[in-house]
């Protein structure tokens, strides 16, 4: 049983929670696409759309674990994982990966429109580009964050095309870019946390080539840049789509969530945490839940916000 658990741990089912970001794609489709209703069958299809994505994500995790094993042996804690520690057989893992890919795409072909399958293919390709030499964007400073955070738009597309049958109906570019920038913020924070967690420039550079270029100030500036891009693109979307206008009220709570993330990442406690633990801070969780709850309420409540703010407009307009 313990051997089976070792193989399951490498597939990282505990990381499937990341695919909850697919729900964001569902929400955008429900909000902006006429005819997409949140009825029983649609909700069931939306929930099921997470399954193929989880299977393909696990395939990517397995590939990542196999290809990273030589480097993970240099990491303070990752050296204890199944592959670098020699507790699992690599050929079995390749077989597991192939089975997960076949199962994921098989379910996608049977139950979902072609757009969903295309997005699922992008999820797999993203894992290949990120992990496989000679491109292996994981080893390239800043490109690694851009590539890894691209999974955010992919998950948005998965949620969108699970419910929208036509490939020609696309989610707004401003929302796609905002979601990408948000992923960039999270992934840069992860790099910053990991960089501080290792705490040794020579060891971190041997473990991951991109860490030979990174410094704490560069990573902090990158986090600030992604935060600015996220706020700018979100503002464009809110201004451009009347259905989203009321979401301007989310910004104060959203800012609180971002500040909580920065504060925790820069704290002494954050420096002692592994990157995966960074988002487990209570303040971050509370601020994130509050942001999501307020967003849902504002989208489902018709508030004449623009009329309330009319007095702020300059005279003569």
C-alpha dihedral sign at 290, 293, 296, 299: negative
23: nearest Cα among 46, 56, 48 = 46
Rama region for 215: left / alpha / beta (φ>0; ψ in -120 to 50; rest): beta
DSSP helix/strand/coil, 83: coil
Please list, residue by residue across 12-40, b when 16 or more beta carbons sit within 10 angstroms of its beta carbon and e when fewer do.
beeebebbebbbbbbbbbbebeeebeeee
The values of phi and psi at residue 49, to 5°, are -65, -15
Contact 170, 119 (CB under 8 A): no
Would you write out the chain's pLDDT as a tens digit for each of its 317 residues? 577 888 899 999 988 888 888 999 999 999 999 988 888 899 999 999 999 999 999 999 999 999 988 887 877 778 888 888 888 899 999 999 999 999 999 999 999 999 999 999 999 999 999 999 888 998 899 999 999 999 999 999 999 999 999 988 999 999 999 999 999 998 898 888 888 877 777 777 777 788 889 988 999 999 999 999 999 999 999 989 988 888 888 888 888 888 888 887 777 766 555 555 666 778 778 878 888 888 888 887 766 655 555 555 554 44
What class is the 1-170 domain? mainly alpha
**H or E element in which residue 218 lies:** helix 216-240
Q: What span, in angstroms and rounded, lies between the C-alpha atoms of 49 and 23? A: 9
**H or E element in which residue 179 lies:** helix 173-198
> What pLDDT, on a 0 to 100 scale, did the predictor assign at position 307?
55
**Could you tell me the pTM of the whole model?**
0.87
Write down the domain spans for the chain.
1-170, 172-317
Q: What span, in angstroms and rounded, lies between the C-alpha atoms of 84 and 274? A: 18
């Amino acid at each position: 049983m313990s051997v089976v658990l070792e193989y399951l741990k490498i597939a990282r089912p505990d990381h499937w929670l990341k695919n909850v970001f697919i729900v964001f794609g569902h929400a955008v489709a429900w909000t902006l696409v006429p005819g997409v209703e949140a009825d029983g069958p649609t909700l069931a299809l939306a929930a099921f759309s997470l399954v193929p994505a989880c299977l393909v994500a696990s395939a990517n995790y397995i590939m990542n674990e196999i290809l990273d094993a030589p480097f993970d042996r240099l990491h303070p804690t990752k050296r204890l994982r199944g592959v670098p520690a020699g507790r699992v057989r690599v050929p079995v893992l390749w077989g597991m990966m192939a089975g997960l890919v076949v199962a994921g795409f098989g379910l996608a072909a049977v139950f979902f429109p072609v757009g969903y399958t295309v997005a699922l293919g992008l999820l797999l390709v993203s894992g290949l580009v990120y992990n496989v030499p000679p491109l292996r964007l994981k080893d390239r400073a800043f490109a690694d964050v851009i590539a890894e955070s691209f999974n955010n738009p992919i998950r948005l597309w998965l949620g969108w095309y699970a419910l929208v049958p036509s490939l020609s109906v696309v989610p707004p570019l401003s929302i796609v870019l905002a979601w990408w920038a948000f992923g960039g913020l999270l992934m840069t924070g992860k790099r910053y946390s990991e960089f501080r967690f290792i705490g040794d420039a020579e060891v971190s550079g041997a473990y991951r080539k991109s860490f030979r270029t990174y410094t704490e100030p560069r990573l902090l500036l990158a986090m600030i840049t992604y935060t600015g891009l996220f706020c700018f693109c979100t503002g464009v979307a809110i201004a451009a789509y009347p259905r989203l206008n009321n979401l301007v009220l989310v910004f104060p709570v959203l800012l609180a969530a971002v500040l909580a993330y920065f504060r925790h990442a820069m704290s002494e406690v954050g420096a002692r945490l592994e990157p995966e633990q960074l988002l487990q801070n209570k303040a971050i969780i509370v601020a994130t839940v509050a942001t999501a709850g307020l967003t849902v309420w504002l989208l489902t409540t018709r508030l004449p916000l623009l009329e309330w703010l009319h007095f702020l407009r300059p005279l003569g307009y």
